[in-house]
């Protein structure tokens, strides 16, 4: 390809709307163009990278028996209602009406459609297992598109679905896809970390994400350097440890004038935050929810949402808390403090229930005694609050956020955190959808069972962006060779020189015949402009022809990832380049 004919122009200035390195560089390199918020057109350079990534994905999946198909983008909305996931996806689901007023969805994913398809094509255990996949455009009405291709409303994705007769078969399919994913990222020369993950709206019993670590990533990865534990911050767990408080003591009120926050309580009463209980209020699907957690911990809202099983979750406002008869800054799950009443814990829970308020407690409330909590009156706190003697909860579970510096739940080491971009996600769906949609098979005994499913996705456009996030410098992109749009940037200087022009044209023709993948900078521009664009576009090898190199009957070759360059004789050009490529 001649650069003078390439559709898409480079630019020097950093676009003001670009907030990540990959977004900035793709716009500057003329790879993408925004059509609408979260919607982009791929220009030829980006499209070539996408096709290379797709081909790697296809080869690795086909190698293990995957079958490619293409599912419809338009999906009957009734399918989503039948699975119940129309509510789970909520406003992220694009919908429309056809001319007959029938409601359709633009596919954000294809579990429903593929399950319905398999339902009519699988009858017997002999038809299983299956690995079916596609590479197709998906649509999700993201509330806050950002980062160029990192979080968008229209995106290209590989989604694969496994269908098995039993849990052992699902385990084999899951392991097989783990290896496929590792091979894909290795061939793309993109080191990733596999982490435990939250299943989100997709559902499922077990899931893992593949993270590409980069400072510009939108996800936080919590990991332990002393063992193999790694998880998305939404899923990560920590060792909260026991808090020494001795034998449970009787409840007692203590005056705390003007004291509201955990820090203020801790300083005023001279106790560590871990000896206090924090009250946090949420509105979950319109219902006020009271969350109680140890004072040294914070609520993980993803874990909380999963526990509640709801769709909409947000922090309650102070006005909403006050309207419920609760004193902000002094709230406590203990309403009745009758010391002699052994049923006071149940009574307290019943009182909250009578107000229509649900109590969710982090399991940290069970890892200590004699906590400090609010007194439900201004300027009053309670000391020696204990679970379950003084209060109970509708649910007790891990809803705490694990952070860097916490202890590892597995080995006791100190957790660390880093930023990353999710470039793959896999789920064990089980029978969640097959039961709802009636996808069954008959076993050897003639008994019908729901098909056991797995789901596996790779965002192709996001993988492209993540590759740039991980492979760039101040000058531009540094493409891994396997997914680079071209392998060689042919850069003749002073094309007005007949000898330079002649050799450049000959090499371009030879490279093309040899299918080496060459981008020929045939513009009449200064060396500075050409070198700057070569660095910006990030092609792995720059081959420079100039009057100076031709005096030595050579060309200058430089890897984009290295500072040093060296000369290769013209008569040994292909051997030298083949070794470098």
Q: Give 339 or 258, the one with higher predicted confidence.
A: 258
Cβ–Cβ < 8 Å for 171, 191:
no
Q: Is the pLDDT of residue 515 over 60?
A: yes
How many C-beta atoms surround the C-beta of residue 170 within 10 A? 24
Q: Give 36 or 336, the one with higher predicted confidence.
A: 36
Please report whether residue 247 resides in a domain: no
pLDDT in tens, 519-529: 999 999 999 99
**Percent of the chain residues past pLDDT 90, beyond the cut:** 84
Cβ–Cβ < 8 Å for 93, 142:
no
Phi, psi (deg, nearest 5) at residue 450: -70, 145
Cβ–Cβ < 8 Å for 360, 292:
yes
Can the peptide bond before residue 372 be classed as cis, meaning omega within 30 degrees of 0? Answer: no
Residues 205 and 139 in one domain: yes
Q: Give 348 or 122, the one with higher predicted confidence.
A: 122
Please report whether residue 78 resides in a domain: no
Please report whether residue 533 resides in a domain: yes
pLDDT in tens, 369-421: 999 999 999 999 999 999 999 999 999 999 999 999 999 999 999 999 999 99
DSSP 280: E
**Percent of the chain residues past pLDDT 70, beyond the cut:** 98
Residues 378 and 454 in one domain: no
d(CA 481, CA 197): 30
Q: Using alpha carbons, list the distances in angstroms from residue 490 to 25, 500, 503.
A: 21, 12, 11
| SS3 assignment, position 113 | helix
Phi, psi (deg, nearest 5) at residue 4: -65, -20
d(CA 220, CA 451): 34
Check residue 317 and give its pLDDT.
Answer: 93
Check residue 15 and give its pLDDT.
Answer: 87
Q: Which phi-psi region, left, alpha or beta, contains residue 203 (left: φ > 0; alpha: ψ -120 to 50)?
A: left
Last residue of a domain, one of 337, 368, 397: 397
Last residue of a domain, one of 366, 397, 428: 397
d(CA 467, CA 414): 29
Check residue 200 and give its pLDDT.
Answer: 61
Question: pLDDT band for position 158 (50/70/90)?
Answer: very high
Structure token digits, residue 12: 């020097």
Check residue 215 and give its pLDDT.
Answer: 83
Q: What is the pTM of this model?
A: 0.88
Please report whether residue 156 resides in a domain: yes
For residues 524-552, average pLDDT: 96
**Average pLDDT score over the chain:** 93
Please report whether residue 79 resides in a domain: no
User: Would you call 201 exposed, middle or buried from its count of C-beta atoms within 10 A (0-12, 13-18, 19+)?
Assistant: middle
Residues 424 and 493 in one domain: no
Residues 386 and 304 in one domain: yes
Q: Is the pLDDT of residue 217 over 70?
A: yes
pLDDT in tens, 273-294: 999 999 999 999 889 999 999 9
Candidates 332, 351, 328, 322; CA nearest to 253 is 332
pLDDT in tens, 303-315: 999 888 867 889 9
131-140, 160-169, 195-204: range with lowest mean pLDDT? 195-204
Check residue 505 and give its pLDDT.
Answer: 96
For residues 92-113, average pLDDT: 96
Residues 448 and 535 in one domain: no
Check residue 246 and give its pLDDT.
Answer: 87
Structure token digits, residue 460: 């192709």
Question: pLDDT band for position 203 (50/70/90)?
Answer: low
Structure token digits, residue 140: 């999700």
Q: Is the pLDDT of residue 357 over 60?
A: yes
Structure token digits, residue 369: 């005694």
Residues 260 and 214 in one domain: no
Sequence-distant contacts of 269-273: CB under 8 A, at least 24 apart: 269/372, 269/381, 269/383, 271/372, 272/296
Residues 275 and 385 in one domain: yes
Residues 212 and 307 in one domain: no
Residues 42 and 177 in one domain: yes
Instruction: Provide the number of structural domains found in the chain.
Output: 3
The CATH number of the domain holding residue 296 is 3.90.960.10
The CATH number of the domain holding residue 158 is 3.30.930.10
Structure token digits, residue 106: 């633009």
152-166, 194-208, 455-469, 566-580: range with lowest mean pLDDT? 194-208
Q: Is the pLDDT of residue 488 over 70?
A: yes
Please provide the DSSP assignment of 58-72 as one string.
HHHHHHTT-EE----
539: which residues sit within 8 A by CB, 6+ positions away?
A: 479, 484, 485, 486, 487, 488, 489, 519, 560
Q: Is the pLDDT of residue 261 over 60?
A: yes
Please report whether residue 227 resides in a domain: no
Please report whether residue 197 resides in a domain: yes
Q: Is the pLDDT of residue 268 over 90?
A: yes
214: which residues sit within 8 A by CB, 6+ positions away?
A: 419, 420, 421, 466, 469, 470
Q: Is the pLDDT of residue 198 over 90?
A: no
Structural domain boundaries enclosing 572: 486-580
Kindly give the residue spans of alpha helices, DSSP state H, lying in 471-554. 498-513, 527-537, 547-551
Last residue of a domain, one of 469, 501, 530: 469
Residues 308 and 440 in one domain: no
Check residue 149 and give its pLDDT.
Answer: 93
pLDDT in tens, 222-245: 999 999 899 999 999 999 999 977
d(CA 39, CA 56): 25
For residues 149-169, average pLDDT: 96
């Amino acid at each position: 390809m001649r650069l003078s004919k390439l559709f898409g122009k480079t630019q020097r200035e950093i676009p003001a709307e670009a907030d990540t390195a990959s977004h900035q560089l793709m716009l500057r390199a003329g790879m993408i163009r925004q059509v609408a918020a979260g919607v982009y057109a791929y220009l030829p350079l980006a499209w070539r990278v996408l096709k290379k990534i797709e081909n790697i994905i296809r080869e690795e999946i086909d190698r293990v028996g995957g079958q490619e198909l293409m599912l419809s983008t338009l999906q009957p909305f009734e399918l989503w209602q039948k699975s119940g996931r129309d509510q789970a996806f909520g406003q992220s689901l694009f919908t429309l009406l056809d001319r007959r007023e029938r409601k359709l969805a633009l596919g954000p994913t294809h579990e429903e459609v593929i399950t319905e398809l398999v339902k009519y094509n699988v009858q017997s255990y002999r038809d299983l297992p299956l690995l079916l996949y596609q590479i197709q455009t998906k649509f999700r009405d993201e509330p806050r598109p950002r980062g160029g291709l990192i979080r968008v409303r229209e995106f290209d994705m590989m989604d694969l679905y496994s269908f098995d007769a039993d849990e052992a078969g699902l385990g084999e399919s899951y392991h097989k896809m783990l290896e496929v994913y590792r091979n894909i990222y290795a061939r793309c020369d993109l080191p990733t970390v596999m982490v435990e993950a939250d299943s989100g709206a997709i559902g499922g019993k077990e899931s893992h994400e593949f993270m590409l670590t980069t400072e510009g990533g939108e996800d936080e990865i919590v990991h332990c350097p002393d063992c193999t534990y790694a998880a998305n911050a939404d899923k990560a767990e920590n060792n909260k440890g026991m808090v020494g408080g001795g034998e449970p003591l009787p409840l007692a009120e203590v005056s705390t004038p003007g004291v509201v926050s955990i820090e203020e309580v801790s300083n005023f009463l001279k106790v560590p935050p871990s000896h206090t209980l924090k009250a946090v209020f949420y509105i979950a699907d319109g219902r006020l929810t009271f969350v109680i957690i140890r004072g040294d911990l914070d609520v993980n809202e993803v874990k909380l949402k999963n526990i509640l099983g709801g769709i909409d979750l947000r922090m309650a406002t102070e006005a909403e808390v006050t309207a419920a008869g609760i004193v902000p800054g002094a709230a406590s799950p203990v309403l009745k403090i009758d010391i002699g009443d052994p049923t006071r814990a149940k009574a307290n829970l019943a009182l909250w229930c009578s107000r229509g308020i649900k109590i969710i407690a982090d399991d940290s409330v069970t890892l200590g005694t004699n906590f400090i909590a609010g007194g439900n009156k201004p300027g009053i706190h309670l000391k020696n609050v204990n679970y379950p003697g003084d209060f109970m909860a509708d649910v007790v579970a891990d809803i705490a956020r694990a952070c860097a510096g916490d202890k590892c739940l597995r080995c006791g080491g100190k957790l660390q955190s880093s930023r990353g971009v999710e470039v793959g996600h896999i789920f064990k769906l089980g029978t969640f959808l097959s039961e709802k949609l009636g996808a069954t098979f008959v076993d050897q005994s003639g008994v019908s069972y729901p098909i056991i499913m797995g789901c596996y996705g790779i965002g192709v456009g996001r993988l492209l962006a993540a590759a740039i996030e991980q492979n760039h410098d101040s000058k531009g992109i540094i493409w891994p060779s396997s997914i680079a749009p071209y392998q060689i940037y042919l850069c003749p200087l002073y094309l007005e020189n007949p000898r330079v022009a002649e050799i450049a044209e000959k090499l371009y023709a030879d490279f093309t015949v040899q299918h080496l993948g060459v981008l020929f900078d045939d513009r009449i521009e200064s060396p500075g402009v050409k070198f700057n664009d070569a660095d910006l576009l990030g092609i792995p090898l720059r081959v420079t022809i100039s009057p100076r190199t031709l005096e030595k009957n050579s060309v200058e070759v430089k890897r984009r990832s290295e500072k040093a360059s060296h000369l290769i004789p013209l008569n040994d050009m292909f051997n030298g380049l083949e070794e470098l490529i």
